[in-house]
Structure 1
Amino acid sequence: MSANILVFDSGVGGLSILAEVRKQLPQANYCYLFDNARLPYGELDEQELIQGCVELIARAVTLSEADIVVVACNSASTLILPALRETLTVPVVGVVPAIKPAARLSKNKHLGLLATPGTVNRRYTQELIDKFARDCRVDRFGSSELVYIAEAKMAQQPLDLQTLHEVLKPIKESGLDTLVLGCTHFPILASELQDYLGEGVTLLDSSRAIAARVMTLIQMEGKQGLRGQSQAFYTTTTIAEGLKTTLAAWGFSSVVSFAECAIETGS
């Protein structure tokens, strides 16, 4: 029986997580569900986010017969995991900002966290900093603009580099040497971020750690990938043709509206 892995995000940012998971489990079946109708999550009311995500993911798990769920969104992970784990019977893996490894890696003990405003201001984020980076200065930078720029890149649309540089300017001027990408959209812009910030700033995200955790849980479940099918689903009525082209290049055999079809599994 092949492993069915459901990866969930508000947009295409979760593809940065899926890419690392696929390296570990290339023959698993992947269902990628992105709730682009409510993008970005970092600006939503917390209760609305919890209820909406749990309902959407629960339905997707049933339709896809998922063996494991990866919530590839920092904003969602900091809020919905307890409710989601109470609802589902399959393992759930969330994404948290890579504060702990960043604190170990930084040479000048000056870190930055670049995330959506919701993640930056959430109490859970402060708890991570207090627990793992007490000996560091941690500057927090909230941006929803970069989410839209990452979405534009994946849709093969022009990038708003002026806005990108405006967001990054205070980061570059701060003197930090390690920047945590606390939104899964942001690794999509890694080359643009690195070009502007320079080689003196190390970019860090959670994708490899998440992939390792998924690999461990799949092995515990006794699953083995045999077919390697991939499908993508979105929650709006339509998406840009450029994004469909990009998703096809990522190996998705179908890219369709979640409301209009049932998911076929590879089990």
Structure 2
Amino acid sequence: MCQKPTILFFDSGVGGFSVYREVKALLPDNQYLYCFDNGGFPYSEKSEQIITERTLAICRKIDKDYPLDLIVIACNTASTVVLPALREAFNIPIVGTVPAIKPAAEISQTKHIGLLATKGTVKRQYVNDLIQNYASHCVVEKLGSTVLAEIAEQKLRGSSVDLLALNEELKVWRDIDDLDTVILGCTHFPLIKDEIQICLPQVKYFIDPGKAIALRVKKLLENVQVRPIKETKNLIFCTQNFKYELVFQQALSLWGFNELRVLTGIGE
């Protein structure tokens, strides 16, 4: 039996699950690893240097013990910073996650669109370039929020979504009647898309890159030479122990994972 490729999804938190689930739905039989750097969460509050150093250290540490065939940086903030360094460090495909500005500009009827992302993502020149290249004919509202990522983390741990806090974060867009398209520019945000829709009822289209990333991964794996690996479990890694760890472990099987492990030695 041919060994399946080993794919690592990396994010500062669990938002990358929104990308992982799309890839796994398309390619159910691969080996999947997921790492959330909760020791560095949220990345939107970190410098570019720290984000790059932590991402490189974590990916190298996992690759040493679990030879990787492809890495998905399932984090918009990290993707705007670390992709060149990762591609220099690894000889395997590296897939980033960037705000889906081009498809949003194409689908919007009013040409008034919103980019909902983290504070780190909305201020990157990379994002400004995407807007200039693909949405210069649109009015683009930008809203950076750390609170929404935290709300999504809480939902995935089984807590109810605080709609009052969510509405407070989004209220600046509430009265923009012709805002018909919103880009979910953080991988956490698709996890609370239904709740965001309640707060922004005028929005017709919510755009995220999950399905497009899944198709990209499938294409790249066609030319990958699968590296031998001793352990074939689907594993989740974190970078420090956390309060809800036991509850989280009990829910792992629902996402297709076998075990949670803590990576040690990842410095600030």
Answer whether TM exceeds 0.5 for this pair.
yes
SS of corresponding position for 1:156: coil
Are the equivalent residues in 2 in contact too, given 1:180–1:205 (CA < 8 A)?
Answer: yes
- Is 1:202 the counterpart of 2:200? The answer is no
Report the equivalent of 1:124. 126
Any idea what the Cα deviations from partners look like across 1:182-221, whole Å, max 9, x if unmatched? 0000000011111222264311101111111100011122
User: Among 143, 146, 149, which residue is 1:144 paired with?
Assistant: 146
Distance 2:64 2:176 in 1: 47
Shift of 1:19: 0.3
Give the residue type in structure 1 aligned to 2:157. Answer: A
Distance verdict in 2 for CA 1:165–1:228, change over 3 Å: farther
Report the equivalent of 1:252. 257
Distance verdict in 2 for CA 1:201–1:171, change over 3 Å: farther
SS of corresponding position for 1:12: coil
Shift of 1:134: 0.7
Are the equivalent residues in 2 in contact too, given 1:155–1:244 (CA < 8 A)?
Answer: no
Report the equivalent of 2:10. 8
User: Among 216, 219, 229, which residue is 2:222 paired with?
Assistant: 219
**Quick one: higher RCO (CA 8 Å, sep 6+), 1 or 2?**
1
- Is 1:165 the counterpart of 2:170? The answer is no
Shift of 1:60: 1.3
SS of corresponding position for 1:32: strand
Distance 2:196 2:250 in 1: 24
Give the residue type in structure 2 aligned to 1:169. Answer: K
Distance verdict in 2 for CA 1:45–1:222, change over 3 Å: closer
User: Among 177, 181, 186, which residue is 2:189 paired with?
Assistant: 186
Are the equivalent residues in 2 in contact too, given 1:157–1:242 (CA < 8 A)?
Answer: no
Distance 2:88 2:205 in 1: 37
Deviation above 3 Å: which 4+ runs of structure 1? none
Distance 1:69 1:259 in 2: 20
- Is 1:237 the counterpart of 2:232? The answer is no
Report the equivalent of 2:67. 65
Report the equivalent of 1:265. none
Comparing 192-201 with 247-256, greater Cα deviation is found at 192-201
SS of corresponding position for 2:222: helix
Are the equivalent residues in 1 in contact too, given 2:197–2:203 (CA < 8 A)?
Answer: no
Distance 1:238 1:142 in 2: 26
Q: Determine what percentage of the aligned residue pairs are the same residue.
A: 41
Cα RMSD between the aligned structures? 1.8
Are the equivalent residues in 2 in contact too, given 1:33–1:232 (CA < 8 A)?
Answer: yes
Are the equivalent residues in 2 in contact too, given 1:233–1:258 (CA < 8 A)?
Answer: yes
SS of corresponding position for 2:166: helix
Any idea what the Cα deviations from partners look like across 1:9-60, whole Å, max 9, x if unmatched? 0010000000000011100000001101111101101111111111111211
- Structure 1, gaps ≥5 residues long: 261-267
Are the equivalent residues in 1 in contact too, given 2:10–2:35 (CA < 8 A)?
Answer: yes
Are the equivalent residues in 2 in contact too, given 1:28–1:229 (CA < 8 A)?
Answer: no
Higher helix fraction: Structure 1 or Structure 2? Answer: 1
